[in-house]
Structure 1
Amino acid sequence: MRKVLGKGLFIVVILVIIVSVTVSIVEAQSKSFLIDCGSNSSVNVDGRKWVGDMAPNNNVTLSSSGFVVSTSTLSGNSIYDPLYKTARIFTSYLNYTIKGVKGNYFVRFHFCPFVNEDYNLNKSSFGVVANGMKVLSEFNVPLEISDENMELQKSGKNSSSFFLVKEYVMAINVDTLVIEFVPSGSSFGFINAIEIVSFVDELFPGSVGKVGGGNLNLTGRSMETMYRLNVGGSKIQSNQDPDLWRTWEVDSSHMITANAGSGVKNTSNITYASVNDTSMAPLLVYETARAMTNNEVLEKRFNMSWKFEVDPDFDYLVRLHFCELVYDKANERIFRIYINNRTAADNFDVYVRAGGMNKAYHQDYFDSLSSKIDTLWVQLGPDTAAGAAGTDALLNGLEVFKLSKNGNLASVQRYDSADNATSKSKGKVLWVGIGAGVASALVLAIVIVLVLCFCRSRRKASTDTKNNPPGWRPLFLYGAALNSTVGAKGSAGTQKAYGSMASTRVGKKFTLAEINAATKNFDESLIIGVGGFGKVYKGEIDDGVLAAIKRANPQSEQGLTEFETEIDMLSKLRHRHLVSLIGFCEEKNEMILVYEYMANGTLRSHLFGSDLPPLSWKQRLEACIGAARGLHYLHTGADRGIIHRDVKTTNILLDENFVAKMADFGLSKDGPALDHTHVSTAVKGSFGYLDPEYFRRQQLTEKSDVYSFGVVLFECACARAVINPTLPRDQINLAEWAMRWQKQKSLETIIDPHLRGTYCPESLTKFGEIAEKCLADDGKSRPTMGEVLWHLEYVLQLHEAWLNMHNSETSFSSNQVLKVEGLEVLHEPSSEDEEDALNLKE
């Protein structure tokens, strides 16, 4: 009788525990807040109701409305696409205040940088603070997306995802969550959706064992989810994890050797090892695994290894998920766990730890990274000393969380070995620092006094200067370097008379009255282009000479820096394949640049997206050659060379004879000094053309222009946008899509239909090989622009010979030898090459 009562009591206790856990989960789910940003209504997505941030009675308060933008089309590659069709833009400080929030929450920010006419979301930069915790700083969504896509591409996986979700774990001790969005400098930010999902206390423990010994208390520490992987299985979408709506990615892109472990699957009767584990991961994670089943190798010490890029100088929580799917007894599979090449656990038997076969179990580990380490390794390998029946290891899931440090979760600057200098004595350094500080203060004070005196004298001389807004520094600080001695026309009466002499800044300083007359008071009908800097007008200056007049938009994310860089670069450059700067205007709060007029507009407009007749293959080759000549001059025409940094088809302009010229030098940088290999600088450019090596390392080289030019080559051949979210996922990114076909030697399959039957097949083959070389992952493996130029000329010669042969005028007999594979060139320079060489010497 007592046994029966004992069993009954035990069952009752178990039922009470299960019911209490279930109630906790239900309560947690009911406390979720789902916010659709940029909307005043509600929408049902993934079976949940998302409320607009401007909808009534939504417990959400905005400090300011910002701006709302929307799109009607998206790529359809996310279940959250209905949310991603709207966004809220903020150009100044904005915060969301959500009431009724107290407890443990996943806070997720959804970003999708769709195309918008008014705001280039690709160029946004901003920070985010949640209840005083800095979670993002100077954050650029497209760069983060590109970084993730590149990791997928390395593993041969589809890499065309164009949305991003940043997830944070927060313990909110007050009843209100305040999320602050702060633009970086003069930039702006955006947000598509905010997801706040409550979870039970048991999800994260109070303390975690540290690799190497000891424990860490996690209480009160916020975390960022860096990686969440379904090891050995397919991607698990958030709606397949209905308790906490987590997404579990595939693990193969992070494996060092993918075939070190093969997939294992077993969906029969899997249960959780403990009732407290039910929220750790969905059962789908435990139904698949990766195991070291390849035991035919001679050396038994190889491991399954995963490598993760992380932020240095932070603490990390590594959570491993296990479920023994094969063996039904102990001592069949025993292995070791290594984290960052240190043993985290040995004699690890999943069957023993979980309490049997098909039991879902997890294990947490903690490790700290120094400021010199930006990678985290997780490795599983056989423990041959344990005497297991097989040399094997198994893993079902893996999560990596970054722990907050001093109220900060935002990325920190990566370690630079150049900063690792030997320190002197503290006292000496202190006195040197004090002396340097005093001297710097004195010098700075003198400079400020001189500048103020100079500015005061200038203001007295000009009554218009007082109208300049404080955000724009007038160009008189250039001093005498900019002069207005150039007349309206040269002796030949052509626009080339306005070209600048090398190493001497020359340009006419136009009055605003002259600009108004040239553009008919900025008549909207004269607009010939719109860019990040502002609008471009067609105008007539000085006896009917046509010019392109670029007027800065004060609200633009580009500003004085780009304005000055454009003048600085173009005023000291002269080349037939660079657009000439005629002059500028800085009167009455205006920043205006005046260029030579390019009658046929951008190269892109002749490839797609307009009603203009398509260019022939010969015209496209000649345009590419012209642009290559301009870039080659930039890279070699100065002591250190100049890196354009924004090479794309909209910055390649065509004159009345379809001669191509490079334009828009607002982002250009001087090349590295002789004793340096690169220029360390913040990543700037256009999404789709960016050199992946550049935005990974923030190290700019001339080869970054070469990569962008390779994308231009494929764009000319295929006549489509470099990023098109409306296409199927594997076609969204032109560079990736075209490279797949090129590596199959089948570029002709995706060539512009207008070209079919009108080009030399051999010329297209060589053209594709050049583009492929330009897009090499490693900058050192890419050709120089000079080498690209020579090979493009050869491609043109092949095509012209083919045209002559088909026109029955001449037969082709080539006495020139070029080898694209090795990039070796035997080719006599043309007269145009010789003239370019003269320009370089000047």
Structure 2
Amino acid sequence: MLRNGSNLGLNQRMVLLGLLFLVLISTFLEAGYGQVNTYLLNCGSTDSIVDANGRRWVADSSGENFTLSDNGTAVSSVTVEDNSIYQSLYKTLRVFNSSAYYSFNVSPGSYCIRLHFYPFSAGSLNINDSVFDVTANELRLVSQFNVPVEILCWNSRMNEVHNSLIKEYFLNVSSNELKIKFVPSVTSFAFVNAIEITEVMNNMFVDAATKVGTKEKLPFSLNEHGIETMYRLNVGGPALEPGKDRDLWRKWDPDDNFMFSANAAIAISNRSNISYSSLNASSIAPLLVYETARIMSDNEVVEKRFNVSWRFLVDPNFEYLIRMHFCELVYDKQNQRIFRIYINNKTAAEEYDVYLQARGMNKAYHEDFSDVLSRQIDTLWLQLGPEPSVGPSGIDAILNGVEIFKLSKNGSLAHVSERISINEEGVSTKKTKSKVLWAATGIGASVVTISIACVFLLHHVRKRKADSVKEDPSSWRPLFVHATMASTTNAAAKSPLINNGLPAPNRTGRRFTLAEIRVATSNFDESLVIGTGGFGKVYKGEIDDGILVAIKRGNPQSQQGAAEFETEIEMLSKLRHRHLVSMIGFCDEQKEMILVYEYMANGTLRSHLYGTSQPALSWKQRLDACIGAARGLHYLHTGAEWCIIHRDVKTTNILLDGDFVAKMADFGLSRAGPSLDHTHVSTAVKGSFGYLDPEYFRRQQLTQKSDVYSFGVVLFEVVCARPVINPSLPKDQSNLAEWALRWQRQRSLESIIDPKLDGDYSLESLRKFGELAEKCLADEGKNRPNMGDVLWHLEYVLHLHEAYRKSREGDSFGSTELGFTDVPFSLPFVREGDEEHVS
């Protein structure tokens, strides 16, 4: 018995030693070591580093199991203003002035590639000048890529502020080589801070994806597509850093910034006994993602018929894979929670029961859907709504996580055509792709060079003119463009403010000579006048062999002068958006104040409503114009570097281009919004009578809700097609806002609608339109919607009208098919903590 006992003890020790060995191996592999096809490169460095997660990044000068075709130039920075776990990686970067590549020895299979970019400048290197392409084997990842611009776009999409950018891709490698190639544009350069390559051991993309709008499941494989990760969200939960997802070291962002209405859903969590529904699902997402979720809210304020909606800005003209992660955390039997899934206003799934699909409670499960966006669509909507076929007890929905992947098209994931996103450029679409890119950046190397040259030239001229007058303090104050985004932000925060609340002006754009302006306008020929405003006359002009422009010449007798001129340039120098009129340049010679804009062929929105011989707009055209203007205002309020309040929203400041795309114009009265710890800006009242926010008028306290009020007047002006103030009418009808509100509150807005519409509109869409206008004209700003809510409801109104138009044509098409059930306007537009607050 003693011998048997000794053998038993020996066996136990052997088992324990074996388990200890497995734990050590597992820990070793999790730390990123020992994986045959894992590469972590610290680019531009001579030293390897270990990041906050214990992963070792080797210096790209070491040549460990990879080849670098051209050493380029290694650049380092003393300080890094980035608080991510990769901060230590971003102190160095490698610059390539000509084509170069990293070549990795790999086994055939599927791989995840991450490229890390943190733009900083050193010495003569200006990172803003960098434009380049990147390919991975035969797959084009980016083209005409400018990192600072992409960071601005990404911050706008995420509604956050980051100084770095990580681009993530998945692709299949059929050979034993993975080559990542950087190709700078002519006279430019490429750079990268770090490269991360990980083999996807369990193929993540092997399931069939349901084609949206059909019930057909189509096979999907990385052999056919490359993939770019656009979004990865932990729905209802906090951000998950890469250390929480050690299969692929992915970051999961919270979903709060992408929800249409936070009141539509509540977050829940459950950490008990969650497991994967299938054995090969562990690498799809960590269990932490499935421990939290959002379900439809039971708040009495929000009706159960209201869909839960997420909105994502994406690149148009691509196919997208939408991966939804589910885990039933509450119900222990089927038929307790049944809902519909809508993607891009089309039904993706009906009678969806997570318990049934995952085969149990607390079972982690995912489902893939695919949809193709057209060339005009830059927004992807994901919505969960009630299933009409079930009773009230089953009306609910749940979602734990979502990933959105862009699929390659013709071997490319690059998107270099005109952007339709928040930070898109606003110049004519007739420009070439390279010109569009530089217009999107707002400032390029040439502009910086010209600005510096102008500064020195002015300085030289002033020194030689001993009899010149002392410079007026209100004149232009040229500033040099700071080398990095971080330093620009810091400098802006410390620089003196001008009277619109923004930092002192940084002039960009083309400086025209007065002679050029005279040639463009045939010496200010009166026959070329296309408009007159508070600043002065606007002329139709022609520059550069045929490019049409609008030229606004300041009137010396105008009440709007140098301050408004400076504000206009300051605003439009920094703003680029498809629904904001683009400034091309300016002229300030011989006491002239002249601004040059893109030409808007169809003039003002008002000219198509009343008072001219212009053809009347259809109901759809009017809705499109309102949506375009709302998009421009929403960008001003939320998408720019500062919150900007337009302060002069009216139909004469909404212009229509040749395709009737609406753009906001005239920023001479615009103001920067309050800082985050203030609710308003105290300022003298300015604006246009009839559109003025009464709360702003009473208190002289300006908020972004002041723009919302003015926009509400615009909405009634659009539907009634009459002046906002008409003294010739009886007193109770002279003020449009008051008059239309009375009819709207009686739910009789159709009684005063523009007769030119001739009944070609949906009464349901008109009803919702009137309710929205009424909300915008609430007497107190806290009771008005924000511009994001206004935009969403206008899009809903358009969907209602489209459904009505389709039904008249005999098509089966309803609002439910569009992904919307009856949207109540009784829900509070102001979210918690958002009263009168500009954020």
After TM superposition, the score normalised by the length of structure 1 is 0.53
Which residue does 2:350 correspond to in 1? 346
Equivalent of residue 641 in structure 1, options 526, 536, 551: 551
Question: What does 1:306-325 align with in structure 2 at a 5 Å threshold?
Answer: 306-325=310-329
Equivalent of residue 268 in structure 1, options 262, 265, 272: 272
C-alpha contact 2:33 2:55 (8 A) present in aligned 1: no
Change (3 A) 1:45 1:360: same
C-alpha contact 1:334 1:392 (8 A) present in aligned 2: yes
C-alpha contact 1:59 1:100 (8 A) present in aligned 2: no
Which residue does 1:87 correspond to in 2? 93
- 1:8-52 Cα deviation digits (max 9, x unpaired): xxxxxxxxxx99xx9999999542111111112101113344445
Look up the SS of the partner of 2:143 in the other structure: strand
Query: Is residue 200 of structure 1 aligned with residue 201 of structure 2?
Result: yes
Which residue does 2:626 correspond to in 1? none
Which residue does 2:185 correspond to in 1? 184
For residues 90 and 161 of structure 2, the distance between their equivalents in structure 1, rounded to whole angstroms, comes to 16
What's the offset of the Cα at 1:81? Answer: 0.8
For residues 301 and 333 of structure 1, the distance between their equivalents in structure 2, rounded to whole angstroms, comes to 14
For residues 376 and 217 of structure 1, the distance between their equivalents in structure 2, rounded to whole angstroms, comes to 22
Query: Is residue 68 of structure 1 aligned with residue 78 of structure 2?
Result: no
Look up the SS of the partner of 2:310 in the other structure: strand
For residues 507 and 315 of structure 2, the distance between their equivalents in structure 1, rounded to whole angstroms, comes to 43
What's the offset of the Cα at 1:206? Answer: 5.1
What's the offset of the Cα at 1:200? Answer: 2.4
Look up the SS of the partner of 1:197 in the other structure: strand
Larger of the two Rg values belongs to structure? 1
C-alpha contact 1:739 1:772 (8 A) present in aligned 2: no
Question: What does 1:304-703 align with in structure 2 at a 5 Å threshold?
Answer: 304-387=308-391, 389-411=393-415, 413=417, 545=464, 639=539, 640-641=550-551, 647=570, 670-673=596-599, 675=601
Which residue does 2:142 correspond to in 1? 136
For residues 231 and 534 of structure 1, the distance between their equivalents in structure 2, rounded to whole angstroms, comes to 51
Which residue does 1:235 correspond to in 2? 239
What's the offset of the Cα at 1:742? Answer: 4.5
C-alpha contact 1:312 1:414 (8 A) present in aligned 2: no
Change (3 A) 1:372 1:746: closer
Residue segments in structure 2 that go unaligned for 5+ positions in a row:
1-21, 421-447, 483-487, 518-534, 540-549, 553-564, 575-586, 605-639, 647-653, 684-698, 715-780, 782-839
What's the offset of the Cα at 1:247? Answer: 0.8
Look up the SS of the partner of 1:385 in the other structure: coil
Look up the SS of the partner of 1:75 in the other structure: coil
What's the offset of the Cα at 1:332? Answer: 1.2
C-alpha contact 1:578 1:662 (8 A) present in aligned 2: no
- 1:671-703 Cα deviation digits (max 9, x unpaired): 12362679xxxxxxxx95899999xx9x99895
Question: What does 1:46-57 align with in structure 2 at a 5 Å threshold?
Answer: 46-57=52-63
What's the offset of the Cα at 1:127? Answer: 1.9
Name the aligned partner's letter for residue 141 of structure 2: V
Question: What does 1:783-802 align with in structure 2 at a 5 Å threshold?
Answer: none
C-alpha contact 1:126 1:184 (8 A) present in aligned 2: yes
Which residue does 2:262 correspond to in 1? 258
C-alpha contact 1:292 1:304 (8 A) present in aligned 2: yes
C-alpha contact 2:130 2:189 (8 A) present in aligned 1: yes
- 1:702-741 Cα deviation digits (max 9, x unpaired): 959769x956xxxxxxxxxxxxxxxxxxxxxxx8xx5324
Change (3 A) 1:139 1:676: farther
Which residue does 1:431 correspond to in 2? none
Which residue does 1:175 correspond to in 2? 176
Look up the SS of the partner of 1:671 in the other structure: strand
- 1:397-443 Cα deviation digits (max 9, x unpaired): 00111111111111153599xxxxxxxxxxxxxxxxxxxxxxxxxxx
Which residue does 1:40 correspond to in 2? 46
C-alpha contact 1:93 1:183 (8 A) present in aligned 2: yes
Equivalent of residue 740 in structure 1, options 666, 676, 683: 676
Change (3 A) 1:96 1:623: closer
Using the TM superposition, name which of 253-262 and 62-71 deviates more: 62-71
For residues 347 and 393 of structure 1, the distance between their equivalents in structure 2, rounded to whole angstroms, comes to 11
Which residue does 1:507 correspond to in 2? none
For residues 125 and 578 of structure 1, the distance between their equivalents in structure 2, rounded to whole angstroms, comes to 34
What's the offset of the Cα at 1:57? Answer: 3.4
For residues 44 and 124 of structure 2, the distance between their equivalents in structure 1, rounded to whole angstroms, comes to 15
Name the aligned partner's letter for residue 216 of structure 1: L
For residues 397 and 622 of structure 1, the distance between their equivalents in structure 2, rounded to whole angstroms, comes to 40
What's the offset of the Cα at 1:258? Answer: 1.6
C-alpha contact 1:671 1:701 (8 A) present in aligned 2: no
C-alpha contact 1:671 1:702 (8 A) present in aligned 2: no
What's the offset of the Cα at 1:371? Answer: 2.2
Query: Is residue 280 of structure 1 aligned with residue 206 of structure 2?
Result: no
Name the aligned partner's letter for residue 164 of structure 2: F
For residues 197 and 498 of structure 2, the distance between their equivalents in structure 1, rounded to whole angstroms, comes to 54
Query: Is residue 163 of structure 1 aligned with residue 82 of structure 2?
Result: no
Look up the SS of the partner of 1:202 in the other structure: coil
Change (3 A) 1:648 1:673: closer
C-alpha contact 1:322 1:362 (8 A) present in aligned 2: yes
For residues 703 and 304 of structure 2, the distance between their equivalents in structure 1, rounded to whole angstroms, comes to 44
For residues 349 and 276 of structure 1, the distance between their equivalents in structure 2, rounded to whole angstroms, comes to 22
For residues 662 and 76 of structure 2, the distance between their equivalents in structure 1, rounded to whole angstroms, comes to 34
Name the aligned partner's letter for residue 323 of structure 2: R
Which residue does 2:115 correspond to in 1? 109
Change (3 A) 1:298 1:39: closer
Look up the SS of the partner of 2:406 in the other structure: strand
C-alpha contact 1:641 1:670 (8 A) present in aligned 2: yes
Which residue does 1:215 correspond to in 2? 217
What's the offset of the Cα at 1:131? Answer: 0.8
What's the offset of the Cα at 1:201? Answer: 3.7
- 1:300-324 Cα deviation digits (max 9, x unpaired): 4321111222222221111110111
Name the aligned partner's letter for residue 84 of structure 1: Y
What's the offset of the Cα at 1:61? Answer: 2.5
Change (3 A) 1:89 1:43: same
C-alpha contact 1:647 1:689 (8 A) present in aligned 2: no
What's the offset of the Cα at 1:641? Answer: 2.8
Name the aligned partner's letter for residue 740 of structure 1: L
C-alpha contact 1:28 1:199 (8 A) present in aligned 2: no
C-alpha contact 1:530 1:536 (8 A) present in aligned 2: no
For residues 387 and 119 of structure 1, the distance between their equivalents in structure 2, rounded to whole angstroms, comes to 65
Look up the SS of the partner of 2:598 in the other structure: coil
C-alpha contact 2:452 2:480 (8 A) present in aligned 1: no
Change (3 A) 1:295 1:332: farther
Query: Is residue 294 of structure 1 aligned with residue 294 of structure 2?
Result: no
What's the offset of the Cα at 1:195? Answer: 0.9
Aligned-pair identity (%): 38
Name the aligned partner's letter for residue 130 of structure 2: S
Name the aligned partner's letter for residue 347 of structure 2: T
Name the aligned partner's letter for residue 641 of structure 1: I
Residue segments in structure 1 that go unaligned for 5+ positions in a row:
1-17, 154-158, 417-528, 548-573, 580-597, 652-660, 679-686, 712-734, 748-764, 782-820, 822-842
C-alpha contact 1:322 1:396 (8 A) present in aligned 2: yes
Equivalent of residue 125 in structure 2, options 88, 111, 119: 119
For residues 196 and 506 of structure 2, the distance between their equivalents in structure 1, rounded to whole angstroms, comes to 50
